Amino acid sequence: MLAIDVKDLRKQFKVQKNREGLSGALKDLFKREYNEVRAVKDISFQIPQGEICGYIGENGAGKSTTIKMLTGILVPTSGDIRVNGYIPYKDREKFVGNIGVVFGQRSQLWWDIGVIESFRLLRKVYGVSEHDFRRRLDQLVERLDLGDLLNRPVRKLSLGQRMRCELVASLLHNPAILFLDEPTIGLDIVVKTAIREFLQELNREEGTTILLTTHDLQDIEALCSRVIMLDDGRIIYDGGLDELKNRWSRGREIQFQFTSHTPLAKLEQLTAGLGVTWKQESDLNATMWLPHTTNVSDALSIVTGGTAIRDIKIIETNTDEIVREIYRSGSASASAAATLLREEEPALR
Amino acid sequence: MKYAVLLWEYIKNYAKTRLTYRADFWIEVLSDLMFQGMNLFFILIVFQHTPSLGGWTEAEVVFVYGFFMIPYGLFTTFFNMWNFSERYIVKGEMDRILTRPAHNLFQVLLENVDPPSLIGSAVGAIIMAICWNDLGLAFHAYDLLMLLLFVIGAVLVYGGIYTALSALSFFSDAPTGIVPLIYNIQNYGRYPVNIYNKTIRFILTWVLPFAFVGVIPASYFLEKKSDDISQLALLTPVVGIVFFILGLSLWNYGVKRYRGAGS
């Protein structure tokens, strides 16, 4: 069964145009002009139950807007959404009883009261029985190592402690789907790792479907079997992470350190026909760019055969770089992805 | 039933947070009472200069004021939404409210519940009782029932109007000017409406029916006046329900327009 089914989802905001200067402000006072800004542009995707899906994109790409529509906070301009079989904004109160939501930037807990008091209040709001609540809480507290934090007021917690409490709060009612909006923002590496492990375990043991947005691609690498990438309100990629890397990383980089001065011309002459590009860094150092079409061993054997080498380093482009590259090229890669997808479709059938 | 449980839980939590700041608590109670005291003082001063106000004696006007304090205290306890726009719309806390399985207006009201204002209601009841005695009014058991009905109606009138006003925040980013304006108008409802001109009287009775929070229901218990507004008293619960439904509908419509804040 599908946990999330989205079809041609669109969200449009009316934004007031502010004209410049005092005269502009006066004009605005009497006659306002509005711009229609489309934050989410007819996107469609489906997430089956039990999947962990990463939702990435630049700031302002429409990630949060999508999450807010999926959780029933915003009403879409057009399109269909089904989450857990519900239309989120229509049957909101029934629907939200079976989802968990964590917004990294905003607290779900009551600021002044002890964490445990917040949990108790949530138990009543969600109508969880005392017995289930105790069992669930003990389990979560143990897994996230919260023991002695429970009696402290939220305002006295560190960000990492608070974040772990937020997770517990969103899971007390054992939701089928968990929405996380930047859950690791601003956290140190230890807490990040702890949260990632926790989410993985949760998904494995209870089959919780997880949709998370993040700017930290390590979150994605650690957790997600699938990535949806958004740019300017459109989906520009939807698939596995490995595939993303293969598709967009243009090649590998090999750094050479030579024992003696090796001129660029000589290197270029050696590797002519392989389609590589060279960059000289100093007398002894040079970097070679290798497209995926060429074998690393072929290139290496040619270079090592013609020069004296002290050291070699092969650098695989990491996800950060790939994603940065995609963000930067923006719409260009969108059309590239579109062509790629179109080419693939017949093969799939 | 669920909502009654939640109300109790939220009040307990209120107690836990606020009672830790004891000074703050008492200052709030004190300033509340002082504000009401000032209004009462104003009435007394007016009656130093005239024996009656549009046919109403001092004790009657004070009686009306005492009645007014009861629904007003209840209203400020349960509809403490002054910072709604700032906190829930601008800062986007409405997001959190909307992801919880209880009616969103109810959650907002509960989070801001302010029980100390109930002390004002108690004082109002005492003032009313004293005036009741001074005026030598007959007391029947069903008067209590009527009082309860009127108080509920009056709270709903207030609640409906302020729910509608708060709902405006869903449409405009800063509807800051309108709330103080209405707040000023509401004060007129505490005095006999026949002292105002026709337009204001009409507005206070039917458009922004603040007269139904003070003088109209209170007059039910008093001697009949020439214009006999007490006839309208029985309408109080009806007006309350109508205005509350209007306010709630505007609210529910507004929630659909909620745009969230920031990321």
Q: Is A281 on the interface with B (CB under 8 A)?
A: no
Question: How far is it, in rounded angstroms, from Cα A260 to Cα A286?
Answer: 12
Contact A64 B263 (CB under 8 A): yes
Question: How far is it, in rounded angstroms, from Cα A309 to Cα A292?
Answer: 23
Q: Which residues in chain B are contacts of A117 at CB distance < 8 A?
A: 13, 16
Q: Which residues in chain A are contacts of B258 at CB distance < 8 A?
A: 73-74
User: pLDDT tens digits for A254-312?
Assistant: 888 888 888 888 888 888 888 888 888 888 888 888 887 778 888 888 888 888 888 88
Q: Which of B96, B260, B262 is the closest to A108 by Cβ?
A: B96
Whether A295 is covered by a domain: the verdict is: yes
Q: Which of B5, B6, B263 is the closest to A105 by Cβ?
A: B263
Whether A35 is covered by a domain: the verdict is: no
Q: Where are the beta strands (DSSP E) in A184-284?
A: 209-213, 226-231, 234-239, 251-258, 277-280
Whether A322 is covered by a domain: the verdict is: no
Sheet holding A52-57, edge to edge: A99-103, A177-181, A209-213, A52-57, A226-231, A234-239
With pLDDT > 90 as the criterion, what percentage of chain B qualifies? 41
Whether A25 is covered by a domain: the verdict is: no
A136/chain B closest Cα distance in angstroms: 19
User: pLDDT tens digits for A123-135?
Assistant: 999 999 999 999 9
Question: How far is it, in rounded angstroms, from Cα B204 to Cα B192?
Answer: 11
* Best CA proximity match to B77, nearest among B102, B30, B109: B109
B24/chain A closest Cα distance in angstroms: 15
A302/chain B closest Cα distance in angstroms: 52
Q: Where are the beta strands (DSSP E) in A162-225?
A: 177-181, 209-213
Question: How far is it, in rounded angstroms, from Cα B243 to Cα B163?
Answer: 10
Residues A96, A71 share a domain: yes
Whether A329 is covered by a domain: the verdict is: no
Positions of chain A with pLDDT lower than 50, given as ranges: 331-349
Residues A187, A281 share a domain: no
Other residues' Cβ atoms within 10 Å of the Cβ of residue A44: 13
Other residues' Cβ atoms within 10 Å of the Cβ of residue B112: 19
Q: Which of A68, A75, A181 is the closest to B256 by Cβ?
A: A75
Task: Read off φ and ψ for residue A91, nearest 5 degrees.
Answer: -105, 50
Which pLDDT score is estimated for A332? 40
Q: At which residue do the structure tokens 């009056």 appear?
A: B154
Q: How many helices (H) and strands (E) does chain B have?
A: 12, 2
The total number of structural domains in chain A stands at 2
Residues A98, A77 share a domain: yes
Between the alpha carbon of residue A230 and those of residues A45, A49, A180, A335, the distances in Å are 12, 21, 16, 13
Which pLDDT score is estimated for A129? 94
Residues A189, A161 share a domain: yes
Which residue range is the domain that position A159 belongs to? 2-8+44-245
Residues A254, A107 share a domain: no
A71/chain B closest Cα distance in angstroms: 7
Q: Is A117 on the interface with B (CB under 8 A)?
A: yes
Q: Which two tokens stand for residue A282?
A: 């100093």
User: pLDDT tens digits for B196-236?
Assistant: 888 988 888 899 999 999 889 998 998 887 777 788 899 99
Q: Collapsing DSSP states into helix, strand and coil, what is residue B256?
A: helix
Residues A173, A82 share a domain: yes
Other residues' Cβ atoms within 10 Å of the Cβ of residue B259: 19
Contact A96 B100 (CB under 8 A): yes
Whether A349 is covered by a domain: the verdict is: no
Distant-in-sequence, close-in-space partners of A285: CB < 8 Å, separation ≥ 6: A255, A256, A257, A258
| CA-only gyration radius of chain A, Å | 26
Residues A227, A85 share a domain: yes
Which pLDDT score is estimated for B175? 60
Q: Which two tokens stand for residue A280?
A: 């000289």
